[in-house]
């Protein structure tokens, strides 16, 4: 599955209602809070069964940002692989998160549109602060996320997430956290 980009023209987009905007904003803030608290099992409830969770590799291209992606991903995951990552965090074999990272996710610049089939399209910026609690400098990871959200059983769920990192070279020790 591949997330569809936003239409080129803003005229093709239909802004969400204030109520929809509020619901999506609250949803994204609650998601960040769950992840920062290490409540990964609860976070899985925010994901649709058929989720596509993708972060393409970015490169520095001369004179343009449009073609700054390789045809490969840091990760391209589905519900099964995300559940397996959460299960691994619950074992003694999650060395990349031992000790657990201290994280703070700052979700900003949220924009919401009505998409096809009653889905909502949300774009947001995320700044992740991550400390290992040791002598290493903390990590800062800045990304833009494009989410396709779907109402399932009366609650929003992420059907697709495209994560576009702002840097070509990630300066983090590992990428074991969820964005």
Mean pLDDT across 21-44: 97
pLDDT of 23 above 70: yes
Mean pLDDT across 64-81: 77
Provide the pairing of β-strand 139-152 with 155-165: antiparallel
Mean pLDDT across 168-172: 68
Which tens digit of pLDDT belongs to each residue from 103-152? 999 999 999 999 878 899 999 999 999 987 776 788 899 999 999 999 99
Residue 89: φ, ψ to 5°? -60, -25
Mean pLDDT across 15-41: 97
**Percent of residues, the chain, with pLDDT higher than 90:** 58
Q: Taking a C-beta distance cutoff of 8 angstroms, is the pair 58, 68 a contact?
A: yes
| Mean pLDDT, the chain, whole residue set | 86
C-alpha neighbours within 13 Å on the C-beta side of residue 171:
13
pLDDT at 70: 65
């Amino acid at each position: 599955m591949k997330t569809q980009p936003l239409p080129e023209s803003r005229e093709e987009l239909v802004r969400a209602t204030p109520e929809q905007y509020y619901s999506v904003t609250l949803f994204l803030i609650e998601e960040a809070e769950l992840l920062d608290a290490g409540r990964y099992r609860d976070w899985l409830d925010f994901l649709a069964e058929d989720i596509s969770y993708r972060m393409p590799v970015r490169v520095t291209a001369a004179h343009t940002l449009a073609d700054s992606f390789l045809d490969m991903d840091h990760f391209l995951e589905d519900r099964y692989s995300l559940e397996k990552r959460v299960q691994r965090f619950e074992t003694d074999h999650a060395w990349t998160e031992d000790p657990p990272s201290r994280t703070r996710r700052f979700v900003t610049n949220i924009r919401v549109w009505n998409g096809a089939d009653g889905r909502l399209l949300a774009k947001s910026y995320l700044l992740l602060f991550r400390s290992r609690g040791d002598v290493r400098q903390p990590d800062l990871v800045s990304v833009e996320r494009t989410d396709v959200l779907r109402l399932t059983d009366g609650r929003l769920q992420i059907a697709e997430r495209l994560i576009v990192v702002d840097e070509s070279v990630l300066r983090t020790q590992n990428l074991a956290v969820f964005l």
